[in-house]
Structure 1
Amino acid sequence: MKLLKPEKAASTWKVVRLPRSAGLSRSKVMSMYRAQLKKMNRVGKDRFLSQRLLSIGTDNSWFNAQVIPREPAWVPVQNANYVWFSGNLSADNAVISTRFTLSQQRRIVNASFFISVDNYAIVIINGVPLLYDGPQNTPAFFNPGRTFNVRRFLRRGRNDIVIIAFNFVGARSVSNPAGVAARLDIQLS
């Protein structure tokens, strides 16, 4: 399995082997991904997008997501809110997702994905892991967030993004906060 490192100004992409994340194997992660897609299919949430410039940020419209207050140490994310698992805001992990359909008539010119997560996450776009963090509890890691070029991960038609976010030492609480904010920016022809 391969991972793209965050982009740096005028640098090339670097491909590396994925580590295990949170003790989860690749097969377990992909099983969680498929289960999330099944749940989304039952609900039928989908957005059709045909504008030239698009921005999809985390909010209550994401499947299983509930907006939470931003902690002072977390970076503000334009056009996105910090969220956690709507079924249990005290959970030690959150599996959230969104589905959208891009116009078949337009070409994807540019696409970037920004994420800020306390503490670490796995991000899968259309079945391909983009981010596969190892367990850590370093504020410098999640603040100020990371940006990825994801044009090659997207396609015309239906797209899915699943984020599996983890809190480092167990349940999310006032003394052990957790949250994830993400934004996908797309430029179509």
Structure 2
Amino acid sequence: MSKIILLDTSFMLELFAVPLDSTPERHHAAVALFESAIENSYDIYCTLGVLYEIANHIVDIKNIKVQSQIAEQFKGMVELAWAENIPFTVIPNSSSAEVLAQFAALPEICRKYNESLRQRLSLIDCTIVEVAQKLRSNYRDRERRWPAHIWTSHGELKALEPDRFDHDFF
């Protein structure tokens, strides 16, 4: 069975082994999970907000050599994702109008997730939940009853995942 996967910042930090934000054990688990998702042709998505958050973490890496290596890996992955939706699809991924629409939705998202924003969830987290729910609904409208998962180590975000995904770290 195929699945819908949403990538969170915590997962991406582990995937790229960002110093101070990753452990070897979780990095290896993230790589294995990501490779499995690609091999199984899961539909993988990452929000633009998560990409900005990862970029901020990469900028904070103190070791210039490590920073440069990770920045190049990240750049390559994002360019491929943006151009060909491989290994994931960037949401939103089309025009600047769609990006503007995301920002225009801010007041509604704040109202909808008012309580969640007070419970250690960021705006990016709430956006991930919103995207996961919309994708799941869109897939079901097309008769694809695929589960939608959020790969994250953030417990409060994981609790809002549309379909349960049990994993030691994510």
Q: TM-score, normalised by structure 1?
A: 0.27
Higher helix share: 2
With the length of structure 2 as denominator, give the TM-score of the two structures.
0.29
Question: Where is the strand percentage greater, Structure 1 or Structure 2?
Answer: 1
